[in-house]
Every structure is written in C-alpha cells, then in structure tokens.
A and B are shown apart, each in its own frame.
Chain A
Amino acid sequence: MSEAAVLQNDPGSTGRFGQFGGCYIPETLVPACQELESAFRAAWSDPAFRDELDGLLSSYAGRPSPLTHCQRLSEDIGAEIYLKREDLNHTGSHKINNVLGQALLARRMGKTRLVAETGAGQHGVATATAAALFGLECEVYMGEVDMERQALNVFRMRLLGAVVRPATTGSRTLKDAVNEALRDWVATVETTHYCLGSVMGPHPYPWMVREFHRVIGSEARQQCLDLFGALPDLVVACVGGGSNAAGIFSGFATDPQVDLVGVEPEGAATVVRRVPGVLHGSMSYLLQDEHGQVLEAESISAGLDYPGVGPEHAHLASIGRAKYFSVNDQEVADAFALLSRTEGIVPALEPAHALAWVSKQRHDLAGRKVLINLSGRGDKDADQMMKYFAQ
C-alpha cells in the first residue's frame, strides 16, 4: 500500500487505522453503530445530503472561515503565522461542522433526541444549537468540574433548550461525561443519536467526525494557495480527542512536504506517551496505570482534559506522518495573552496550546510558513483566566 493510501482514508467496515480503531462497546450499541455507519455511507455519497449540509455550513455557520495572516505575531515569533479562523464560526468553534452533519444524519435516521458529552462546553453548545435548529430534544453530559470552570457555556446550553446533566464520578471531567453519555445511549438507543464530539469512540465515529471536519483542511489548503501561492511548511493544531487537528490535517496529509504537528497538554499527553489501550469504543493510545485502569488527565483546558485520543492520531503518530508534542499550563496562559495582545484575537485555551508550542519552538521555525488551526474563541475562558492571572 502506498503511503497516500493509508492516510486519512476510509477505514472500511472494521473501522481500522492501522492497528487502531475498531468498535469496542457493549453489544447493545453495536447494532446502532452499524446502522450509523450505513446511514453515514449513504448520506455522504448522496448529493442532496451534501448540498443541504454545505448550505447550512455557509448560511448558518458562516463558512468558509477566513485565513488570517498575523503580521505582528509573525514579527514577534520570527515565522510567518497564519490562522485558520474556526473561532469565527457560529457558536465559536470548529465543533459546529461536525454537529450540523450529525444532526442532519440523526434526522435522516428518524432519531428525535440527541445526547452528547462536552468538556469545554463548545461541543455541548454546538449540539444544543443544532437541536434547537432542527427541533430535536437534547441532553448534554458535562463533568461537574467543567460545569464550574465553563459556567458560561452551561448557561448557553440551557438557554438553547438543552438539559445539562453533571457527571459526578471519577475525575468529573470529559472522560466521565463520555461514560454518562454512553450509559444514556445504552438505554435510549432506539430514539436517540449519540452526537459524539470528537474523532474518538467506536467506528464509525472517528472516521465520520473527521469527514465532517474535512472542510477545515480543504478550505485552508486552497486559501494558502490563493494567499501565498504555496502550501504551508507546517500545520499545527491542539489535540484533545483530535477533531480539529484531524480536520485541518486532512487537507495536507498527502502532501509529504507539509509537516503535521499535534499539541497536547502536559497532563494529558496521550500520544506523546504512546501506551496502547481501549476506552470508549476504540483502541488507541490511553493514559493508564500499570493495571490498565484509566488515569485522570489534568489540564487548564477543559476541552483537552481527556486521557484518550482519536485512533487515527495514534496511527499517524505510529507511522510518523504527524508528530505530537506537549506544552504546560503556563506556556498556554502566555500564548493566550500573546495572541490577544499582538493580534486582537482572544483564543480559546485549547488552540492556545498550538500557539504555545509554536511560540516555544520559534528558534526552529525561523522564516517558515506555519498554519495554526485556531479552533475556537476565548470568551468561555475569560472568567477562568481572570482568576489565573490574578494569582
């Protein structure tokens, strides 16, 4: 198989990216995942579905999102920095791309209710938004810790008509919210679609969610060619579950001259540590102790506070096509302030990880063209960072 053939392709009916992926879930949900796979295959090759989704992405979500050349930040860092502005999408992050796709699909499958997990609340807000738009019931699970640090998004979800339920077990963050969403789905699978928020979970989610985010990479590639007549040297994105990274990587995966970099928090450096495991439906890398018990991740950013990662990232790391690094909370806070001051753009804490890595690596990046996926805006983090900077 050529390298191009194994990159960002259709993982087939077994949902494998190399040795990673698969469908490791209780039997109750297996038929639902199979139904979802065939519904997605049919929809994705149906021009009417594609047209409807494209229409929503432009008239409702505001796509295409712009590509911004950062003049002052480039001078500060000494590299040419371009931002893919997913922060300018409706609801404030890339998450809406996937959610509009899944909500359309849910409607097509005759489901009347959406259930979702959320960390930072951006996926929850996007899901609640799509549910409001399509008149679907919506229930979002969110770790108790995250409900506190992302209180603004809890309010937004409730305003949009969603029921927000706290996940009160374990680390009370994203991992536990996924557990609760899966438990909900086990009981409600006949009427409910699980609107999973990243490129993780059982097949077909890692593949389907990447396809719904492919628009980020396709647009960005063309925008680079239009703006500076070449491809970037480097594409950098933060990685929690890995959806915004998968989306932007998809535009460049088969261009070997473009380096792909994923950035994780130090306290959730799943791909950096490379221990294989199985959680929430797929085989991937997983933070775990010596007995196979899942460890609690720790990060300033609720959206990246997850001990697993999408299986395709494990694959891209294992074949060396993408490289993964980590940054610490202080570096992230500095980057959060840096972009605000140099460009008048307040980033979400999640993409601030990508910025932090670029800032930290500036000596190796001199003169290079760096494309960063600015996956979301920072309003949701203002309260938390106000307290952080006050310390």
Chain B
Amino acid sequence: MTAGVLEATLQAKIADSKKCLLPYITAGCDGWLEAVYAAAEAGADAVEVGLPFSDPVMDGPIIQQASDLALSQGTTPESIIAAIGNSHFEIPLVAMTYYNIAFHMGHERFASSLKAAGFSAAILADLPVGEAELWINAAGEVKLETVFLAAPTSSPKRCQLIAEKSQGFIYAVGLLGVTGEREKLAASTAVIAQRLKNITDKPVLVGVGISTPANAVKAAAVSDGVVVGSALVRILLETKSPEAVGEAVKRFRVALDNV
C-alpha cells in the first residue's frame, strides 16, 4: 500500500532530519478553528482536531472540560466536519474522537464525510486494533488513514500488530495515564518509543503528557516527534486567544528545530 498524505508528509519531514509536531485542539471551544489555523501557521506538521465526546475516558481534566464546554455550546460532529469542510489548510488534519461517534453515524458515512471535509486521518481513542477491522475497511475505501495507539503496557508482539495496522504514524502513549499536563517526562516514554522504532519504519510520535518544549525535545530525541494537546487546550480555554495558541506552538517548533 502506498503511504497516505499524512504519512508522506511526516516521512518527508523525517527525511529532512527534522522532528514532527502535531498540536491537538478540541473543536467547539471558542476560537478553535482560528487556533487550528494559528497552529498551522506556527509550523505544525499536521493538526489533530478533537471531536468532543460526552465520555472521554482517555482524557484528563483539561480536555474533559473543553469537551463539556464544546458540547454545551451545541457542537456536533456534523458542525465540526462542516466547519473544516468550509476551510482550507495546507497541512494534513487528523480527526480524533471516540468510537461511538463513528459507530453511531455509521462507518462509511463517518469516514467519507471526514475525507470529503479534508481530513487525512482519524484516531479513535477507544478502538484498539482487535476491534477495528470494519472501521479500517470503511476508512480504507475512502483513503482515510487510521492511526493506532501503542501504550507502555503493549507487549513487543502487540506493538508489532499495532505498527502493521497503523497508518500515518504510530501514536506512542508516553506514559501510563490519561491526557493532561505533566511536569516531567515519564521514563516509559523512551521504552515505548524505542520498542516501536525497533520494529517499524513508520513515523513514531509520542503523545500524552508532553506539556513543555523541553519535554518535547526529550521525547523527540527517542522518536520522530510529538503530539501536544492539553497544554495548548488549556491556553485556548484560559485566554480564548488563537494567537496565544499559535505562539505556544511556535515555542515547541523552535525548540524542536534547534536540537
């Protein structure tokens, strides 16, 4: 299979000896669409757009709060997909949500509407590889890449399976826990990143708990780049300022480019 747009984009970056940066923004919070533009402008290689779900079990307090807020303001999967569809981005977009959103809309309809709106890939946080066959087929039909997560608890054998199935990149969950800001980088980050790097040529990006440029640099040293979520969503919630999000993304970009 030839690589999709997301994977090709990240591979080109890696071939250039650079590290990848994927900011995450919860859609439906005030200023979210402008924040996605600002992140792209500030040097993101792709942006993850969170479609809020009522029961985000993989998320910590900040993204929970953002999701609740977005839902209380009437945000729906359709409204986000429409907003993205009416926009234009030069970089790939990745939709991130929970499986019931896709299941309820129907695999085919969800996959094709994401693709039609301009998304390149999807991440379903509670859909592990063992349950994903129907979804992968539906997404594959419309050439939407599906990114799978690997965790510190995933054995080398499971990592192999995840690496085979994952498209775009492999999302290495850097620590045992839900999303949220952490002061220190967990020791498990290097272990899971190395385990994946040993078995795959696909891009390996570390996410969950990457909240400072310094930690991003450390995580990127053992991987191909990072996903930064809660740290940016907190800024958006506190300041409602897309520019402030852009500035924060810039700080991560500069730090990653100067190693």
Contacts and interface: CB of A to CB of B under 8 A. Distances in A.
Interface string B51-69: 0011111101000100010
Interface in B43-93: 53-58, 60, 64, 68, 71, 76-78
A277 B158 CA distance: 26
Contacts of A293: 53-54, 71
B176 A288 contact: no
A175 interface: yes
Q: In the complex, which range does the number of interface residues on chain B fall in?
A: 35 or more
A26 B131 contact: no
Interface string B11-39: 00000000000000000000000000000
A77 interface: no
B177 interface: yes
Interface in B94-143: 99-101, 103-105, 125-131
Contacts of A292: 53, 77, 100-101, 103-105
Given A31-B158, A189-B176, A294-B55, A24 B153 contact: no
A27 B154 contact: yes
A26 B105 contact: no
Nearest to B125: A26
Interface stretch (A138-146, A158-166, A179-187): A179-187
Given A27-B149, A27-B173, A170-B54, A277 B103 contact: yes
Contacts of B176: 28, 186-190
Interface stretch (A84-92, A244-252, A278-286): A278-286
A200 B63 CA distance: 25
18 contacts: A14-B130, A25-B57, A25-B126, A26-B149, A26-B173, A27-B129, A27-B149, A31-B154, A31-B155, A31-B158, A169-B68, A186-B57, A187-B177, A190-B153, A190-B176, A280-B57, A291-B78, A292-B103
B162 interface: yes
Interface residues of A, number: 36
A281 B128 CA distance: 10
A23 interface: yes
A303 to B, nearest CB: 19
B178 A279 contact: no
Contacts of A288: 100, 104
Given A27-B162, A281-B126, A292-B105, 7 more contacts: A23-B128, A27-B148, A28-B149, A28-B152, A288-B100, A292-B104, A293-B71
Contacts of A31: 151, 153-155, 158
Q: Which of B55, B150, B158 has the most CB of A within 10 A?
A: B55
Nearest to A275: B104
Interface in A54-106: none
Contacts of A42: none
Nearest to A171: B54
Contact of B126 (A32, A169, A278): A278
Nearest to B155: A31
Contacts of B177: 186-187
Contacts of B71: 293
Contacts of B78: 291
B100 A286 contact: yes
A179 B131 contact: no
B204 to A, nearest CB: 14
Contacts of B154: 27, 30-31
Interface of A: 14, 22-32, 169-170, 175, 179, 182-183, 186-190, 276-281, 283, 286, 288, 291-294
A14 B130 CA distance: 9
Interface in B198-240: none
Contact of A30 (B64, B76, B103, B130): B130
Contacts of B127: 24
A294 B100 contact: yes
A28 B76 CA distance: 28
Contact of A28 (B54, B60, B173): B173
B101 A30 contact: no
A167 B176 CA distance: 21
Given A27-B151, A187-B178, A278 B100 contact: yes
A32 B57 contact: no
A186 B178 contact: yes
Nearest to A281: B126
Contact of B104 (A24, A280, A291): A291
Contact of A24 (B105, B131, B149, B178): B131
Nearest to B152: A28
A179 B55 contact: yes
A279 B100 contact: yes
Closest 3 CB pairs of A and B: A292-B104, A187-B177, A28-B151
A363 B176 CA distance: 56
Contacts of B162: 27
B153 A32 contact: yes
Nearest to B158: A31
Given A25-B128, A292-B105, A170 B99 contact: no
B136 to A, nearest CB: 15
Contacts of B76: 291
Contacts of A188: 176
Interface string B158-181: 100010000000000100111000
B28 to A, nearest CB: 12
A278 to B, nearest CB: 5
A28 B62 CA distance: 20
B130 A23 contact: yes
A279 B149 CA distance: 19
A170 B55 contact: yes
A291 B77 contact: yes
A283 B99 CA distance: 10
Contacts of B126: 24-26, 278, 281
A30 B128 contact: yes
